[in-house]
Amino acid sequence: MYELHEREVLEKLRELDTKRVLIQTPEGLKREAQFLAEFLEENGIESLISGDINYGACDPADREAKMLGCDALIHLGHSYMVLNLEVPTIFIPAFAKVDVIKALSKNMSEIRKLGKRIALVTTVQHIKDLNKAKEFLENEGFEVRIGRGDGRVSFPGQVLGCNFSAAKVEADGILFIGAGYFHPIGVALATKKPTLAINPYSGDAIWMDKEAERWIRKRWAQIAKAYDAEKFGVITSTKKGQLRLGEARRVVKLLKEHGKKAQLIVMNHINYQALEGFDFDAYVVVACPRVPIDDVENWRKPVLTPRELEILLGLREDYEFDEIIG
Ligand code: SF4
């Protein structure tokens, strides 16, 4: 169940003297967005819900809010990211209500295999439980480190699918608390340290080393598919926190220096369907690193990250995760 704290939101909006607000939501919080809009309207604030699905704090609809004459934006589901926003924005992260200690207790024998010094990381959903988890593990005799991370993350110990800076601390191994594979695989690849993922919902513990190997094999296959490509589309996104124009230009230059044709493409929601009709042999996505990976099955042309392109061009040998550094 998601805690909206709608009265606090109303207070903040009143402090901002808001007459009209735009509410932005990820897929899983549409009903909460609807409830919030109704509540705010009952309290005299005109509320518009954005029907565009949002995947991260990197994609605030502040420009749209401004265009619609809104005095503020409410961004549900994600924590604050430092961006140059055009209207005051209230970020309301989604915190999960699940007992992380129960899952940790169940997996103590696996956790001990990480070594004595553990770096603890999680996604924003479980960030409030991180100190509780630290205390629990310290009582079990571990030295627990929680990295501050760089300016792209809001909380110590928080990782994003594009940023694992909080995991890069002196430690023997990394303990990730959360569901899903993408984040802990990213942690394992970014730190090159033994990484154990504990899912607080199922109570399962999974070592990421094998998962990361399997994942890298798939990415090498994608790199091999692009081997004969001559014409590359280099895509960046107009989403504020994904716009990496400098990096995209660097990639175009690199390709040209290696005798390839390269064209910069800019789009908001990057998807293969929208690119059909272009005559490129392969693409490099210089935006959210999840796009060329999560969505690869839907691409009929090879699609790489900038780091993978460097491997293709013979500029690096080791596989490296594409991160956006804040
Ligand atoms: Fe998440 Fe991708 Fe945005 Fe990073 S760029 S915050 S991984 S949606």
Cβ distance 90 to 78 under 8 Å? Answer: no
With tokens 């460097």, the residue in question is: 310
> What pLDDT, on a 0 to 100 scale, did the predictor assign at position 53?
83
Nearest CA to ligand 1 atom 8: 56
Ligand 1 pocket residue status of 241, Cβ below 6 Å: yes
Contact 292, 285 (CB under 8 A): yes
Which position has the token pair 């990057």? Answer: 270
Pairwise CA distance, residues 96 & 265, whole Å: 37
| Domains and their CATH numbers in the chain | 6-93 (3.40.50.11840), 100-214 (3.40.50.11850), 226-312 (3.40.50.11860)
Q: Is ligand 1 within 6 A of the CB of residue 292?
A: no
Specify the ligand 1 atom closest to the Cα of 152. 6
Atom in ligand 1 nearest the alpha carbon of residue 287:
5
Ligand 1 centroid–CA 44 distance in Å is 34
**Quick one: which atom of ligand 1 is closest to the CA of 163?**
4
Per-residue pLDDT for the chain (326 aa), expressed as one digit of tens each?
567 789 999 999 999 999 999 999 999 999 999 999 999 999 999 999 999 988 899 999 999 999 999 999 999 999 999 999 999 999 999 898 899 999 999 999 999 999 999 999 999 999 999 999 999 999 999 999 999 999 999 999 999 999 999 999 999 999 999 999 999 999 999 999 999 999 999 999 999 999 999 999 999 999 999 999 999 999 999 999 999 999 999 999 999 999 999 999 999 999 999 999 999 999 999 999 999 998 899 999 999 999 999 999 999 999 999 999 98
Name which residue sits closest to atom 4 of ligand 1, judged by CA.
Answer: 162
pLDDT at 2: 65
List the residue whose alpha carbon is closest to atom 6 of ligand 1.
Answer: 56
**pLDDT value of position 1:** 56
For residue 323, report the distance from its CA to the centre of ligand 1, in Å.
Answer: 10
55 CA → ligand 1 middle, Å: 7
Run of H or E residues at 263: strand 261-267
Distance 288 CA to ligand 1 centre (A): 5
Residue in 53, 290, 293 to alter for ligand 1 test, most ligand atoms within 8 A of Cβ: 290
Ramachandran region, residue 261 (left: φ > 0; alpha: ψ -120 to 50; beta: rest)? beta
Burial of 224 (0-12, 13-18, 19+ CB in 10 A): exposed
